[in-house]
Structures are given as structure tokens and as C-alpha cells.
Amino acid sequence: MELGKFEILEELGRGGFGIVYKALDKILDRLVAIKVLQPNLVNDPTFISRFLLEARTASNLDHPNLVPIYEFGEIEGRYYIVMSYMPGGSLKELLQKEGSLSQGRAVEIIQQIAEGLTYVHNQGVIHRDLKPGNVLFDAEGVARVSDMGFAKLIRSDNSTSMSTSGDLVGTPAYMAPEIWNGQPATSATDVYSLACILVEMLTSEPLFGGETTPMVMKKHFERLQLPRNFPEDWKEIIKASLEKDPRKRISTVEQLVSGLKSTIKDRRISQVTKKNTPIFFGIGVTVALVVFLSIRLNLFSAQPSSTAVPESVRTRVTATKLPEPTPSIKLTQTVLIEHANPKTDLGNIRVGLIETSANVVSLEDSVELSAVIEGNNIGYIYFFTGLLDETSNSIYVIDTDYLESSQTGQESGVYYPIWPDAEQFRLNFDFEPILYTITDGSQEVLALFNPQSYGRNASDAVYFVDGTFTFQGTGESRTAQLLFRDGKMFKVLTYTGSSTTGAPYETTPNVGDTFTVSRRWMDLDTNGSVTAISFDAGDTITFSGKTIEWGTQYLPDGTYLVGFLVADMDGNITPAYTQITVR
């Protein structure tokens, strides 16, 4: 089937306005989504004239969290809207597939929706028909709001319903009381709908459900009853977003997101303390960590004298004038890791003092770190984050990660980054106060993701999480690793021995099996020397049959050791560190 220059490939869905198709723009050779209006709407001249006006308005809206509208028009009496094709599907489909989401994932999606809504509200546009089916995900997984502006066609401030049957057009489960009462919509109307969506994301059930439209409408006007399994720390902000009277309701989506995040901040781990008894010593240490802990960690490398330093390609924020370098923690290694025989020659790489754009960072902010790197034959560069626990005089290892270059080399199937072709270059990186978790959408536990292999691009890189796998049926426990690629777990390895040096077995988790995360600690003596690498048990996640992914949480308040680990192709590593306070 064809519609002008568009070849219709498949039907994506149906709604009150029309049918949505996936199509190919044969002239531009790109996939698009086309919404073709229902024939009964085409017969209403008033509707068509206002449709064209609203479509023109919506097509001028441009924001990363809105679905772009490419064009609209009419061919042989068939009116249509052409939009960007969203391969990630809808939020409705996500909830049908995965069920309830974690608070961290839910607030990430809600924030993306809110950013798009804030933009359109500032343009004087109200959506009026927010629902999970109107939240789509692009190829990168970013949430985008669709049908922006067209909901005005459903009911204007001075008209009756635009449906030919005379019934109110919309999605009853998400419609604010003022819309049911025929009152004008405001930004608070979209706040109400967004709060309904959030409750459904966390419970997998619509807050206002019912078999008939009158039954649903009645629930919107009854005393609010949140589900028992709704998070306690979000109840007050949701109640304020679902006030029946829009004058008493939170008025902007920004206020809703801010309230959600403030409670998350309080909910995130407020303290990380080491348990008294470590599980084991020296097991599962990444090559990078083994090497850098086996050398003296020199935090005051000399700054290269040259000032003509090219910028590296890994720059997320353009550097402005930076302050003087801040004082740094100095660690010295006096005990080598057992059974390890790493190279300790620093080679010809030098890393200058790390310069920071600030000494203190708050949640939702970032600090730019910058350092001059000098030398040849530079291979992998890692970023390291650790929290100093003064009670146990240990550093809790939070993150070790690859820093990416825009160019990638390959030799014998092994990928590696290619850095600027210069003896000196400046590496810039934005440190954000987050740590990583593993989650199935309902459960979420803290985890240390260790880099295992650099990929052709960022989505191909492989990371692993150390821990203990327990089989529900037998109660047997094994040392194990969860392997992740592109944010999703793709393999579980269990080992027969007491460490990952034993024979590995690829294991398929059954529902009820569990994985307890191992937390890694760098034990210090009174002089700040690293005396041992020890592990203790973190939190446990139970396999439920849902997809395991990685997520993020905010870091707790504290002082952090952050820095770069620069390796040459022979495995020699040169570190540089500084301190950042999260407050």
C-alpha cells in the first residue's frame, strides 16, 4: 500500500484520531510513522480546518523529548501526519512487557517527559491527552512525547466534543477532573495525567481503572486511594499532584519532578560502611585494579611544561577557565596483591595534576575533571571512583570504567581506543555523583561494574559484576559473575572453585535463584597505604524472569577519591587522583 511518496510497511496502532503506520519515505529513504485520520473525522470541515492549524503549531515545536513532526497534508481526501519513527516502542508496551518499574528508572523516564512538557508549556501548549501510549522511545531509549498539540482538537475551551458521536474523546484513566467538568485545561492538567502515569509505572496497573467510562470517571472524583505497594516516600508528592481542584494542585511538571528527586535523595544510601568480616581476599579483581594497586600511586605527577595541548575527543562539556588544582589524597601500596605479578614499570606515560571546575558537587550537577596526558603508545584509560569510609579506614570502590575515544582500533579481534596523535593531549571528563545498580524494574541493588573488554563502540563494551549465585532448588552457592553489554545482562557465569579462577559454567537463572553482589574495599593503614583488597556481601537480587539491566542512583554525601588510570599497550598504568565532596 502506498500513500503518495510513502510506502506503508505495517500498522503500528489505532486510536480515536486514526491509524498509525510504519512507512518508508521513498524520496528521503528513511523510516517514518504516519497517522492517517479516521474517515468520519475527514467529513467535518470544522475539524479539518482546526486540525491543520494545530498540526502547523505542533510541527514548530522542537525539543529532544518530543516526537518530531515532519509534515502533514492531504492526498485524495486522506489527511495524514508524518512523524519520526520511534523504534523503541511505547511506555505502554514497556509496562506490558516488563511490569512495574523501579523508582530510579521511573523517575528517569518521568524527567524526560517533563522536560518536553515544560518546553511546550512555555510555548503556550497543553497536551491534554498524556498516557503511556503517547510516550515513545527513540533508538537511544530516550522518552519522547507524541501527539503534542493535537489533544487540543479533542475539546477546545469554547466548543463541545470534536467526536462525531458527541462523546468526550480522550483516555479516561488519565483525564483530570477539570476536563470531565468541561473546564479549561492548564499545565496542572498535564501534571495530573503525568502523576497517573507514574503510579502505573510503579504498580503496573492504572490508578483509575474500570470496565466502563462512567466507572472510571467516578473514581477520579472519589477520595484518592494509592495502591498499598506504592512507595511511601512518594505518596505526599503524588497526592499533591492529584488534587481534584487544579488550583490546589502542583501547577508545573518541574515541581513534580523536583519533589520526586528530593525524596530519592533522602532514600538513596546515606552511608556506606564496611561489614566486619570480608568474604574473601583478592578475588575477581580487574586487571586494571590489580596493576594500579601494585604500584605506588603518585598523586602529584609533574605538569608538562608545554601549553600547546590539543583537546581529546572525550569532552562532554567544553572547558572554561579552571581553578587551581585541589589537594589530593595520597595512597601508597606496600603489599602486593596475592598471586598477582603485574608490571610495575610506569613506562613513558605522565599524567598531570587533575584540575577540577569545583571542589564540591551537589546532586544533579557535575564537576569537570581535566588533566594533561603525555606519552606514546597509550592504550586504555579508566575512570575510578571510591568513597573513603573513615570508620574502617577503607575505600569503598564504587566505579571503574572505560573512558571512550571517538576512534577505535582493532587487532586480532581485540578493540582498543585511539587517542589524539600527539605527545600531549588534554583529557576532559564530567564527573556526575551517581553510582550504578542492577535492576529488573522492581528490585534494585548497588553493584560495581568492572570493565572486561573494550568494544568497537560504547554499546559493545562488556562489564561484569562479581558476587555469589545461589540455586533455589538445592541451596548451593557459587562464586559468580553477571556479564553486561549495552546496559543489559546477557550471560551468567558460575565457578566451581572458591574464586573466578575455577572452571566457569554458563548458567541460566531460574525464577527464585538469587545473586548477592560483592562489594570491594581497599584497606588502608594509618599512613594511607593500601594493605589489602577485601570483599564483603552487598545486597541480593532474586531472579524473577524479567530482564536484568543496569541503573543509577545518587551518591551519598561524603568525600570521594576520583581519578584517571592511564595504561600503555604493555599494561603499565599511571594514575592521577583528586578529591571531590558530594553534598
Tens of pLDDT, residue by residue over 514-557, are 999 998 887 777 766 667 777 888 889 999 999 999 988 888 77
Taking the C-alpha atoms of residue 281 and residue 535, their distance in angstroms, rounded to an integer, is 6
Are the beta carbons of 400 and 383 closer than 8 angstroms? yes
Residue 340 has pLDDT above 90, yes or no: no
CA distance 91 to 143: 8
**Of 361, 435, 354, the residue nearest 399 (C-alpha):** 435
d(CA 242, CA 249): 7
pLDDT tens per residue, range 17-30: 778 999 999 999 99
Contact between 570 and 348 under an 8 Å Cβ cutoff? The reply is: no
Rounded to whole angstroms, what are the CA distances from 207 to 44, 186, 267, 511? Answer: 35, 21, 24, 28
Instruction: Please report the pLDDT score of residue 174 as a whole number.
Output: 93
- The answer, yes or no, to whether residue 142 has pLDDT greater than 80, is yes
Write down the catalytic residue from 25, 44, 129, 525. 129
What would the CATH number be for the domain defined by 2-267? 1.10.510.10
The predicted structure's pLDDT at residue 326:
28
For all residues of the chain together, what is the average pLDDT? 77
How many whole angstroms from its chain centre is CA 250? 26
Compare 94 and 104 and report the one with higher pLDDT.
94
Asked if residue 123 has pLDDT above 70, the reply is yes
Which one has a higher pLDDT value, 515 or 3? 515
| Position 44, amino acid | D
The rounded distance, in Å, linking the Cα atoms of 251 and 562 is 40
CA diameter of the chain: 83
Domain with CATH 1.10.510.10 in the chain: 2-267
DSSP summary character for residue 297: B
pTM exceeds cut of 0.75? no
| pLDDT one-digit tens code per residue, 259-282 | 887 765 443 333 444 444 333 323
C-alpha span between 562 and 575 (Å, rounded): 10
Among 442, 453, 379, 430, which Cα is nearest to 201's?
Answer: 442
What pLDDT, on a 0 to 100 scale, did the predictor assign at position 263? 64
Kindly indicate the confidence band of residue 500, based on its pLDDT and cuts at 50, 70 and 90: low
Region 323-350: what's the mean pLDDT? 35
DSSP for residue 518: E
Best mean pLDDT range from 170-174, 289-293, 305-309, 572-576: 170-174
Q: What confidence score (pLDDT) does residue 36 get? A: 87
Q: How far apart are CA 328 and CA 298, in angstroms?
A: 10
- Of the candidates 272, 312, 368, 275, the one whose C-alpha atom is nearest the C-alpha of residue 562 is 368
466 catalytic residue (yes or no): no
CB 288 within 8 A of CB 400: yes
Residue linked to cell 500498522: 11
Distance between CA atoms of 451 and 464, rounded to whole angstroms? 7
Please report which helix (H) or strand (E) contains residue 539, including its range. Answer: strand 529-542
Q: String of b and e for 88-126 (b: at least 16 CB within 10 Å)?
A: bebbbebbeebbbbbbbbbbbbbbbbbbbbbbbbeeebb
- Mean pLDDT within 415-424: 79
Count other Cβ atoms within 10 Å, centred on residue 9.
Answer: 15
Rounded Cα–Cα distance for residues 47 and 147 (Å): 16
pLDDT digits (tens, 9 = 90+) for 159-216: 333 333 344 445 899 999 998 988 888 899 999 999 999 999 998 889 998 888 889 9
CA distances, 336 to each of 282, 291, 333, 533 (Å): 10, 9, 7, 10
Give the pLDDT confidence of 59-99 residue by residue, as tens digits. 888 899 999 999 888 888 888 889 999 999 999 999 998 88
Cβ 436 vs Cβ 453: under 8 Å: no
Q: How wide is the angle at C-alpha 353 spanned by C-alphas 529 and 450, nearest 5°? A: 60
Q: What is the pLDDT of residue 344?
A: 34
Q: Which of 55-64, 126-135, 166-175, 295-304 has the highest mean pLDDT?
A: 126-135
Helix (H) or strand (E) segment spanning residue 58: helix 45-59
What sign does the dihedral 172-177-179-185 (CA atoms) show?
negative
Say what the pLDDT of residue 86 is: 93
Lowest pLDDT segment from 135-139, 232-236, 464-468, 540-544: 232-236
Give the pLDDT confidence score for residue 383 in this predicted structure: 86
Q: How far apart are CA 362 and CA 228, in angstroms?
A: 33
